[in-house]
Amino acid sequence: MPSAVATREKNLCLGVDPFWSPLAMVATQDLVLRNYFRERIVLGRENLPISGPVLLAPTHRARWDGLMLTMAAGRRVTRRDCRFMVTKTEMSGLQGWFLERLGCFPINQLRPSLTTLRFAIDLMIDGQQLVVFPEGRINRNEKPLRLKQGLARLTYMAERKGVKVQVIPVGLGYSEIIPKPFGKAAICFAESITIDQFGEDGLKKFNSELAFRMHAAEQSALEAVGRRKKSI
C-alpha cells in the first residue's frame, strides 16, 4: 500500500491486524454465528466479485449485519477483507478497540473529513472491498428505503479518479425483526450497478436504482427466512 495511503490509514484506524483478525474470524463465524442462528443462508453469491474494486451496499437491520457480511463476503470467500466505513460513535469503547484492529474506519456523517473520503477512494483504487450502509443507521421498520447520498457521491468521486467501481446491492433478512437465538438469517447479493450519468440528476437516478435493488435483495432474504414480503 502506498505510503500516502498508509499514512491516511494510520490517522483513521490500525488496519487489519494479522493477530486479531484471524481470531475474530474464528470467534464470530465459527462460534457466535454458528451457535446463535440455526441457519445462515447466502443467496446470489455468483454476483459477488472476487477481484477489482467493490463497494457493498447493504440494508441495515441489526448489529448482526456486519458479521453476516464478513461471513458471506470476507476473506474465507473472496480472499480479501471487508473494510467497513462506520460512524464515529461505533468506534468508541471496547467495541471501537476491536473495530480499529479489524480494518474498520470512522466517518462523521454530518461533516465527512477529506481524509476519510480519500482513504475510502484509495481502498477502491487498491482494488479492495469496501462496505458502506447507505441508510446510515439501523432501520427496523418496514418503511420504504431512504438512502443518504454519501455512497453515491463516494462512487462518483472514485469514478472521477478513473476507478470503475462495482456497487453490489445487498439485502439482509432475519426470521424475527430483532434477531433471536436459533432463528434464521439470510443475505442476498444482487447484480452490480455502476454510475452511468454524472451530476445531481445522475446521483438521484443511481440512488433510486440502488434502493430498488437493495429492496429486491432484502425481499429475497426475507422470503428465505420465512418472513412476509413488504412493498417498496
| Structure confidence by residue, pLDDT tens digits, 6-57 | 666 776 777 888 999 999 999 999 999 999 999 999 999 999 998 899 999 9
For the domain made up of 3-224, the CATH class stated in words is: alpha beta
* Chain Cα centroid distance, residue 116: 16
Cell of 84: 467497513
Cell of 108: 462523521
Is pLDDT at 127 greater than 70 in this prediction?
yes
Q: What is the predicted pLDDT for the residue at 170?
A: 98
Distance CA 212, CA 111 (A): 27
Q: What is the residue extent of each domain of the chain?
A: 3-224
Distance CA 231, CA 145 (A): 10
Mean pLDDT of the 176-187 span:
96
Element housing 220 (H / E): helix 199-224
Q: How confident is the model at residue 115 (pLDDT cuts 50, 70, 90)?
A: confident
Q: How confident is the model at residue 141 (pLDDT cuts 50, 70, 90)?
A: confident
Contact, 65 vs 58, CB < 8 A?
Answer: yes
* Chain Cα centroid distance, residue 201: 25
Mean pLDDT of the 184-191 span:
98
Is pLDDT at 4 greater than 70 in this prediction?
no
Cell of 83: 473494510
Q: How confident is the model at residue 231 (pLDDT cuts 50, 70, 90)?
A: low
- pTM, two decimal places: 0.91
